[in-house]
Each structure stands twice: as C-alpha cells, then as structure tokens.
C-alpha cells in the first residue's frame, strides 16, 4: 500500500513518533520537523532511539514560522504533538487532516497538563493491570502508553484521509 503521494508532516513528541513510524511503514512520505538542536531522541541511546523512531522519515528544521507554514501547506496530514496545536501553521488549511496527539486531550480540566509515559499509563489505568494487587504499581516496559497513543494517532490520520476522499 505504498502511497508517497500522501505527505505527512510530523511535529514530533513522544506521543506522535510511533504514528509517524507506522505511516512510513504504510508507504507514506513523512517529514519530521526538528528543532534547531535536533530531535531529543538523537541524544538517547547514542542516537539509536532516533533511528528506531524516525527511520524512513525525511528530517527538516524550518528557519522560520513562515517556512513551517509552507511545509504544512503542502501536506495532507499533520501529526501534531505540540502543546498549543501549532495554530499559525494550520489556520485556514481546510484540506489538512490535523491529528493532535496529547497526553490529556485538547479540552477539559487536564488539557494543559504535561504527561510522561508513566503518568499517562497510571492515570489511564494501564498500571492497575500488572503486578500484585497488594503491591506497588509496576511500570510497563518500552513506553507502551506512548506507543498506544501513536497507534491511535495513525488510525486517526488514516480515517481522516478516508473521510476526505468521500
């Protein structure tokens, strides 16, 4: 199902990076937007984390908000892990499938909270499923809450593309 005609721009976070990786695996062109200092995964595990999460993605560092806007204008999907939703980059782009993946949603009393994999797994009830009921909660291996968020982000992108065609 290779479709390089579909372009995805990823404003990466721990909760979006697996979505981008899944879409690369489906044959989509994914462009990773990195900050000037590079994606944080470049500094994890001697860079192996970057290779794992971002293999197959093209990487860019826009020089200005205008450059980011131009990049997003040419995209079909925006995977957005930013806290504010990149309003300048998406304003008026009705063709864009804008997928926001945040730890606590975009509305509601906790929408402004930051979250890590451990916090999201605990508050989402995942940690209640492992370990001794009388003991402390156990951390799940390999950032499963982040990866599950990425799976849902990829599904949302695919459904958005399908809805756009119908």
Q: Which two tokens stand for residue 73?
A: 């204008």
Would the pLDDT of 77 be above 70? yes
Task: Quote the longest CA-to-CA distance of the chain.
Answer: 55
Mean pLDDT of the residues in the chain: 92
Would the pLDDT of 116 be above 70? yes
Task: Indicate left, alpha or beta for 108 from its phi (over 0: left) and psi (-120 to 50: alpha).
Answer: left
pTM over 0.85: yes
DSSP labels, the chain: ---TTSEEEEE--TTTHHHHHHHHHTT-EEEEE--TT--GGGGSGGGHHHHHHHTT-EEE--SSHHHHHHHHHT-SEEEE--SS--HHHHTT-TT-EEEE--TT-SSSTTTT----HHHHHHHTTGGGGSS-TTS---PPGGGHHHHHHHHHHHHHHHHHHHHHH-
Structure confidence at residue 135 as a pLDDT band (50, 70, 90): confident
Would the pLDDT of 114 be above 60? yes
Structural domains in the chain, sorted by start: 7-115+150-165 (3.40.50.10540)
Would the pLDDT of 1 be above 60? no
Per-residue pLDDT of 48-67, as tens digits, reads 999 999 999 999 999 999 99
C-alpha triplet 5, 7, 12: angle, nearest 5°: 160
Would the pLDDT of 2 be above 60? no
């Amino acid at each position: 199902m290779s479709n390089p005609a579909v372009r995805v721009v990823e404003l990466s976070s721990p909760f979006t990076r697996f979505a981008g990786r899944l879409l690369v695996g489906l044959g989509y062109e994914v462009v990773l937007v990195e900050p000037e200092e590079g994606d944080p995964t470049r500094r994890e595990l001697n860079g192996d984390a970057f290779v794992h999460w971002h293999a197959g993605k093209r990487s860019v560092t826009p020089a200005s908000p205008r450059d980011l806007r131009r990049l997003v204008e040419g995209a079909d999907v925006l995977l957005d892990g930013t806290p504010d939703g990149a309003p300048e980059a998406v304003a008026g782009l009705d063709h864009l499938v804008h997928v926001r993946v945040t730890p606590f949603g975009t509305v509601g009393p906790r929408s402004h909270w930051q979250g890590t994999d451990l916090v999201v797994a605990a508050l989402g009830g995942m940690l209640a499923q492992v370990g001794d009921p009388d003991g402390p909660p156990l951390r799940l291996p390999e950032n499963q809450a982040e990866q599950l968020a990425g799976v849902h982000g990829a599904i949302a992108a695919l459904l958005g593309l399908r809805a756009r065609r119908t």
